[in-house]
Structure 1
Amino acid sequence: MGHLVTVAAAQLDQWALDFQGNLDRILQSIRQAKKIGAKYRIGPELEISGYGCGDHFLEPDTYLHSWEALAKLLEHPDAQEILLDVGMPVTHHSVHYNCRLFILNGRILLIRPKLHLASDGNYREARWFTTWSKLRQLEEHYLPRVIRKVAGQETVPFGDGVIATLDTVVGTELCEELFTPQSPHIAMGLDGVEIFGNPSASHWELRKLGTRIDLIKNATAKSGGIYVYCNQQGCDGDRLYFDGASMVVVNGKVAVMGTQFSLRDVEVVSATVDLESVRAYRGKHHSRSVQASHTTAYPRVKADFALSAPPSAVVDGTWEGDAPVGSHVDGKKWWGRPPTIPLESLELCGPFEEIAYGPACWLWDYLRRSKAAGFFVPLSGGVDSCAVSLIVYSMCRMVVDAVKEGDKTVLNDAKRIVGEDDSAYVPNDAVEFCGRIFHTCYMGSKNSTTETRKRAADLAQHIGSYHLDLDIDSITSAFLSVFSAVTKREPRFKVHGGSWAENQALQNVQARTRMVLAYLMGQLLPWCRGRLGGLLVLGTANVDESLRGYFTKYDCSAADLNPIGAISKNDLRGFIKYAQEAFDIPFLIEFLDAPPTAELEPITDSYQQKDEVDMGMTYDELSRFGRLRKVDMSGPWSMFSKLIYEWGSALSPSEIAGKVKRFFFYYSINRHKMTILTPSVHCESYSPDDNRFDLRPFLYNAAWTWQFSKIDRAAAEMEKGPSVTQDEATVHGTEPGSK
């Protein structure tokens, strides 16, 4: 049989600074791991404090409370007879580190600090922590009194070391370290480490999971080993959603993987592996053996503990699910689970299915933890508000499914949210539950169409939202009456002969009226229905419109949360098409067939407002501009140079130059709008979320004189004709809220 080891990754929904809740979830995961016979349990990054503490990591209280929670863990009876790998912040020699603590039977064996910090994109770890640069070196760390009292030890090794048990060697590769070119697993594997634990807080992003899986598989494909990847799940208190998908990979093959989207607070992902399979895999590669013979050894901290049972102790028997180790099965004693058979293939969610579940899970965490009574959405009858409503409906479906599966935490949260704490209420129908927590309202005007009003009503009826229908004309007329009384002037729309400034102002007053009404509804609709609490107002601006600035500042894009603020228009359309079949809502095709329009200008026989015309660019073009700007780090010149090759077969150099200049002009004059974007779940790699994911100024010289001149000269040279002037890039647009 060899040496069978059962390892467990605890996929937890931790919460920043929720020390009691975090400890409870850690203990629950340990109990589950021990029940299935695991002798090694690893949890997500910084699981004791929560990963998303931000600048709270600069506060001494965060470190104090982490040690206090750890003391409770050390002395807890459930935390014995199992090797634990837990995460928390630690101060060593007055320097803050992001650390892993190996614990066994009430004592700390090793504190291992992070070697490479995540400090790009969404992450600012270098703001709070320092990297440990003394590779393969250990120092003494003096423990605080609260730990000395419980553990009976004064010091513990601190640094870049590994744990040597009686039967194997365990090392850590902490989150970002996997993504670096010279990952620690390479040197550790050559030095004989057989089990690699990777505790992570890796955020969800559309189409990202496949990349993560490939990196983890490759970590052991060349050099062998057992890779236990443990990721956090849920919303940790900010804009990121951590999507779980913890896994155990053996010799380059996935043995088991946890759920990617789940409402569960605790999920334990486990596998049973034969250590001899790792040794055999490594032994057949001569070149690996040569390299291993020259590698520098890691300091080993010895643990008088075996992760596997002796082969002689294993007796024939029949395995029955979660029978505890040492139990009697069919009259025979069983000492462990059979080896886990690697998965033949992985069925990953497509991007549109990810949109259905990722933002929904994020919304659920926010709703249940904020103590709000539900959500409110201004439902316009367009693609964006339709997508937001479908995400909320998807959340309701997930809640009902979790309750049916027996998740008592979800049930209790659902009952509290709808005000049925002490009743026998059970949410067993998604439409019924949606009607209790989701509120929508069509806020029409004389510029609205009957088609959008009908689409909004049909969608609300199908998903069960508490729906209202009203007109805002009397309110906007009141605003304009006050303005005219003061100025003695009456602004007119463009189609009625008005100027660009008049046209913009008349659109913006409608949009901002809807924002004021949305918050009034959000505060008072629960009261109207005889319930306590308020509603969270959801925004409906997509990432492309934010990037372009195609929205009115402080209109109904200003909200409490925005589940689609980092999703492109094209992906939202794909999601609605997916939901049409997955949620059995055939009429969603009507949303996809309708041209996007703000419906803020009067419709005439010769004019109907359309978004792409207003913006001067298509959503396809916007998406490409966004990826080039953020992902490829392209300025105006680099963007033009790349698009010449991509679009050159369909467009002339001067046309491409005009599009690039138009994009950067409007991006520049509207960049200030990014400073007030509604917090949205991060989904897209080109999100313009200001001062969080996108660290760029919001005041530009919108003429881009040097850059545009260089583009003009290049385009003229390519065409051997007259240069394109800058006037094209400085013509006022007609989109709402450009001022």
Structure 2
Amino acid sequence: MRHGFVKVAAATPDIRVADVTYNTEKICGLIDETVKEGAKVVAFPELCVTGYTCGDLFTQEVLLQEARAALHKIASHTKGKDALIFVGVPVAVEGKLYNVAAALNQGKILGLTTKSFLPNYGEFYEMRQFTEGPSVAREILFDGEKMPFGPQLLFVADSMESLVVSAEICEDAWSSVPPSIEAAREGAVIIANCSASDETVGKSTYRRNLIEGQSARLICGYLYANAGEGESTTDLVFGGHNLIAENGSVLKEGRRFENGVIYTEIDIKRLLGERRKNTTFQTAKEPKLIRVPFTICKEETALTRTFPSRPFVPEEEGERARRCEEILMIQAMGLKKRISHARAKSAVVGISGGLDSTLALLVTAKAFDALGMERKDIVAVTMPCFGTTDRTYQNACKMSRKLGATLREIPIGASVEQHFKDIGHDLDDHSVTYENSQARERTQVLMDVANQAGGIVIGTGDMSELALGWATYNGDHMSMYGVNASVPKTLVRHLVHYYADSCEDAELKAVLYDVLDTPVSPELLPPKDGEIAQKTEDLVGPYELHDFFLYYLLRFGYEPGKIYRIAKRSFEGEYDEETIYKWLHTFCRRFFTQQFKRSCLPDGPKVGTVALSPRGDWRMPSDACSDVWLEELEKERKK
């Protein structure tokens, strides 16, 4: 369970209606299987000991006695097994019959969670046989032992106090006030739902959305174990549609109409981190729920779940296209407001023929269209210097003309050489001074051209560069509105690609495709044989790795060792462990040392869940020390 990963399972056994002996055997068999697979929390379906569809057989004492005896037998079977297991069973208490999820651990029945909401509509008539559970849990005497009985029982791992589990039963999750709400407020990070939800047309989609939404609302892991084949088909069919969700995303989904088990790992540290950040997630001021300890051993959890290697970019093509269109609109609408508020007559964009400036120009054109302004008032400035190649220069010029912008070419070589003379810098010394002087000269030109044109300078730098500090302070770091400020490099590429695919101008499309094929470079060093000599990713590392590091560091607060662990899994076959370690170490070091550049970041629109604005999502001291993060990474590397 290192790094907070807890393996869980949702299990649907084969059953026979009212055949308690057969059902018990099958449940115990699946318990053995799930424990062997390393699951620490396991959920079984509603009333699976007897079958959900027993109807009025639930009024038969012989069935209830058999079910109670079976519950004790199943509990005994869990002795020596390292898991918390929830099993659905009918239980008679004080003359009334209750639909219960029994929590079992190490040979004991720890508690009986009652169903709070009994459906009595459509195909359901549970009130005919069952009584709604009490509104508040209490202790009862159950076969000679005191035991918690009622809703919202909290089961707390004695070896891992942050692992708090609660249960609810089927309809509870479909109600207007699910019991899991209060359980989550008092600390439950995993909710197990023992369910018997039948299949009708379209219901599986609704069910999936419901569980996704509940896990998002409660910022929790959610295990949904559903009844399947073996239930009576007199009037209904049950599909065994099992689901495991975490904070709004389904991690694992069972095949419908097939009984079996699904497994994955819930990241409880991620959930707790999200809850700490989310100030509207209300924790209970005065805890009232019963807390029941259970025993599991802390041990290594082998990961089976996947982590997207490009977390900023949707994998599905249609969703990716929708995301790109939405982001372009957010960027354009942000810029539209700024131009309107500043009463700017023009917008000035430094265009290099690279990805970032291309996206900035495309967004500016979109904003001008929305404002009803003529695109000729977009001033696209190309400023060739020592490192400019003919390929990027031609692309910058062609693109500007095709978009209808006014192209201005302002070579800066002579100005930079004069600056070198002024400060006593040797032209053959290609150090950081050589590079940054060009970047700052370009920014000065853009600012002054904006003054001439009565406009504002549009920033081109992206979020990945900001995270790494890969920007010249008071050079490309500065603008009057940074449209790409919260767009990571991996997404910049897809936005330009989307624009190219959707535009109807064949010549513009060809230029944009060539920009996409051009190596990422600031072009501040002289070319070699006419080709780009300075490739950013050779110097600072692959952006797809850095964007992965950035996402999991900021979005979920993962420690570097945890990021290293999941990166090895996500990039298996693409990057070896040493390469991932090298660039993650670089990322952590640069992320801390370069905060001062982000502390005075120009305005720009937030487009996603991760952003670095010092006025919004990320407020960090510029002189914070990275030692703890780097030491933690090194410890993980040595394991």
TM-score by length of 2: 0.48
Whose radius of gyration is greater, 1 or 2? 2
Question: Could you state the TM-score of these two structures normalised by the residue count of structure 1?
Answer: 0.42
